[in-house]
A and B are shown apart, each in its own frame.
Chain A
Amino acid sequence: MTNDMPILEVRDLCTTFSRGGVALPAVRDVSFNVGKGEVLGLVGESGSGKSVTLRSILGLSRRYGDVTGDVRWMGQDISRMPERKLRQIRGRDIAMIFQEPMTSLNPLLTVGMQLTETLKAHTDLGRAARRDRAIEMLDHVGIPSAASRLEEYPHQFSGGMRQRVMIAIALAANPKLLLADEPTTALDVTIQAQILDLILSLADELHMGVILVTHDLGVVAQTCENVAVMYAGRIVEQGSVRQVLRTPRHPYTVGLMRSVPQDVPPRTQLYSVPGTPPSLEALPAGCAFAPRCQNQTEACLSARPTLETISEGRAAACFNPMAIAQGEVA
């Protein structure tokens, strides 16, 4: 945990898309901080608003929907900053890597071009220096014979290698915060751990903060200091990873934890949270998780629990939180 001033503060972030005149509340009242060098996990099922949260921080959601709330970068509100100024922060201070390495690199441009154009936008380096830096970055993310691969195109790289290229591009201008949107989901299981290790060791080496979006609490347990659990566009529980995983308060967090297979004998059915997430067009009036919840009561169906602070940096949004049983260890 870092006690310095947070580098990123997100307050009451709301992102609403509209489809055919119907408002889709993709992100609602999301607030969190990221400290210097901190790794924050953002967890939830598909469609819970994790990716949209990241894109809204960088201002990428603007052109598709309505974004409100504050996003403060180093104390400066960037949520209403004009594109022209915001692009100085994108890539230079806050970088982002995407989920799909297959579709996130431009198929028509060489890897070298896609790397150096970032450097050209954010540094004073000359042509030759940019090239050297590009080779250095590819080398750094573990791409063999980097110099000879600058002239190659994305389709000449494997999925894992493309994700490394994307990391190299994102980190080329030495950002202070990396937004990683499920960076390993699209990769082979054997490659996933390598890429995750790479991101975290680079973050450590460059004293860079990371927001790691994932649906895997197991990954969070191994890599993050703090975690926020999202459901249907809202944060339902947040706190330090140690606390949240040891004494989860929200039934949904418990469900996610049980979904991570641990020490299970062969041929046992794996656990999954019953039911499916609600569609954004028809959110229930009360708690969005109520229809799938084991602790559901009358109150859950009629009113929505707010995110209540439990202790310093620890909060949950539930009327009937899980009891903190003696000796219960996650």
Chain B
Amino acid sequence: MASIQYILKRLALMVPTFILVMIIIFLLVRFLPGDPAVAIAGDRASDADLEAIRERLGLNEPMLVQFWLFVTNTLQGDLGRSILMRTPVTDVIFERLPTTAFLTVYAVVLSLLIAGPLAFVAALNRGKWPDAVIRTVFQVGLSMPVFYIGLILLTFLAARLHWFPVGGYGDTFGARLYHLFLPSVTVALYTSAIIMRNLRSAIIEVLDAEYVQFARAKGLPNRLILGRHVLRNALISTVTLLGLSIGGLMSGTLVTETVFAVPGVGRLMLEAIFARDYPLIQGLTLTFAVLVSVVFLLTDLFQSSLDPRMRLS
């Protein structure tokens, strides 16, 4: 198992990452076209009104002062007030984050449930028809945009057949599973295609490994060879891939939450960008950066729990 020391070291290494992220976020938002004051007050606002708004938001301060304020406030847990919502950014994010987290975890679990068994079926039937069918179907899934699949599911399963709700999300755990099923499937179709391809080729490679031949020569039952010897080894590269694709998964939720009207941080991000809500964009981007870093760390910890050769490094 990874030591506490290792985790602390990894957390310390995140500090420079975040400094860089904050600089980028700050500059990026300042160079977005459009004026937040106009976005708030509307096109017909007088110059005096706009000036008053800019003054209130601190947008008239020099860039460096604005950046200094941004960094010091962030470190104190203050991400400013959302221009759009008129409430603290942290409150908005913490209110919406659990929904997206639920959606993402749900999608990952579904992806594994879909991709895992099919990758095994494809790998064990390499070159035969089940392999061909599975690979073709996933290839199609991979080449269609996420929002398009989402719209198709929404139209048929929700709007026409009424099997699933068209939007929103429930209050209880069960209701959430039900409400977020279609959005999760939409995201999962894409990620499971990636996982399936990777896991399939990893399984094929591991099946030919000498230690698997040796396991067969030992006379172990087939399910033990596949479960204990093949799967564990094949999972190592797939877990890395899953960790790396978490960024893509989050952009996936951005589109999906919009299509399915799920009140998560993905949709919030889109709203914030349209409204030029600087503090909210900054806060959300920072939140994404933190989440991605944490997921990377978790991936590495999981890896080292799988692979003894990666421990204590």
Within 8 A of A (CB), among B170-217: 209-211, 213-217
Q: Which of B247-255, B264-272, B302-310 contacts A (4 or more CB under 8 A)?
A: B302-310
Judge whether A91 and B211 touch: CB under 8 Å.
Answer: no
Q: Which of A50-64 contact B (CB under 8 A)?
A: 55, 58, 60
Chain A residues within 8 Å of B313, by CB: none
Q: Which of B214, B217, B232, B306: most chain A CB closer than 10 A?
A: B217
Query: What are the residues of chain B within 8 A of A88 when measuring CB–CB?
Result: 219
**What is the CA–CA distance of A88 and B219 in the complex, to the nearest angstrom?**
6
Once the chains bind, are A121 and B307 in contact (CB under 8 Å)? no
Contact residues, A130-172 vs B (CB, 8 A): 153, 155, 166, 169-170
B229 contacts chain A at the CB level, 8 A cutoff = yes
- By the criterion CB–CB under 8 Å, are B217 and A96 in contact? yes
Residue of A83, A103, A118, A173 near B211 (CB, 8 A) is: A103
Most B CB contacts (10 A, CB to CB) among A87, A98, A105 go to A87
CB-contact partner of A100 in B210, B219, B220, B307, under 8 A: B210
Which chain B residues lie closer than 8 Å to A121 at the CB level?
218-221, 224
Name the residue among B209, B214, B233 with the largest chain A CB count within 10 angstroms.
B214
Taking the closest CB of chain A, its distance from the CB of B213, in whole angstroms, is 6
Is B233 touching A108 in the complex (CB atoms < 8 A)?
yes
Set B217, B220, B309: member contacting A117, Cβ < 8 A:
B220
**With A87-B219, A106-B229 in contact, do A153 and B309 touch (Cβ < 8 Å)?**
yes
CB contacts (< 8 Å) of B219 on chain A: these are 87-92, 118, 121-122, 173
Q: Nearest residue in B to A88 (C-beta to C-beta)?
A: B219
User: Are A104 and B211 CB-contacts (below 8 A) given A90-B219, A169-B218?
Assistant: yes
Whether A90 pairs with B210 at a CB distance below 8 angstroms is no
Question: Which B residues lie within 8 Å of A173 (CB)?
Answer: 219
Residues in chain A near residue B220, CB distance under 8 A: 87, 91, 117-118, 121
A residues 20-42 touching B (CB-CB < 8 Å): none
Q: How far is the CA of A105 from the CA of B128 in the complex (A)?
A: 30
Q: Separation in Å of the B289 CB from the closest CB of chain A?
A: 32
Known A108-B308, A153-B308, A153-B309: A90·B218 in contact at CB below 8 Å:
yes
What class of interface size applies to chain A in its complex with B? 20 to 34
B211 touches A106 (CB 8 A): yes
A324 lies within 8 A of chain B by Cβ: no
Give every chain B residue within 8 A of A261 (Cβ-Cβ). none
Question: Which of A91, A107, A109, A122 makes the CB contact (< 8 A) with B217?
Answer: A91
CA distance A321 to B35 in the complex (A): 97
Contact A104 B210, CB 8 Å, known A60-B217, A92-B219: yes
B252 CB, min distance to chain A CBs, angstroms: 31
CB within 8 Å of A: which B264-313 residues:
306-309
- Asked if A232 CB lies within 8 Å of chain B CBs, one says no
- Whole-angstrom distance between the Cβ of B304 and the nearest chain A Cβ: 11
What CA separation (Å) do A278 and B172 show in the bound complex?
Answer: 71
Inside 8 A of A108's CB, which chain B residues have their CB? 232-233, 306-308
Return the CB mask of A90-116 against B: 1 if under 8 Å, else 0.
Answer: 111001101010011111110000000
B residues adjacent to A (C-beta < 8 A) = 209-211, 213-222, 224, 228-229, 232-233, 306-309
Instruction: Give the interface of A toward B (CB within 8 A).
Output: 55, 58, 60, 83, 87-92, 95-96, 98, 100, 103-109, 117-118, 121-122, 153, 155, 166, 169-170, 173
List 23 A-B pairs, Cβ < 8 Å.
A55-B213, A58-B217, A60-B213, A60-B216, A87-B222, A91-B217, A91-B218, A95-B218, A96-B214, A103-B211, A104-B211, A106-B215, A107-B308, A107-B309, A108-B307, A109-B232, A117-B218, A121-B219, A121-B224, A153-B308, A166-B214, A169-B218, A173-B219
Which 7 A-B residue pairings sit nearest by Cβ, starting from the closest? A91-B219, A90-B219, A96-B217, A91-B218, A153-B308, A106-B211, A103-B210
Given A90-B217, A104-B211, A105-B214, 6 other A-B residues pairs in contact with their CB atoms under 8 A: A95-B218, A98-B217, A107-B308, A155-B308, A166-B214, A173-B219
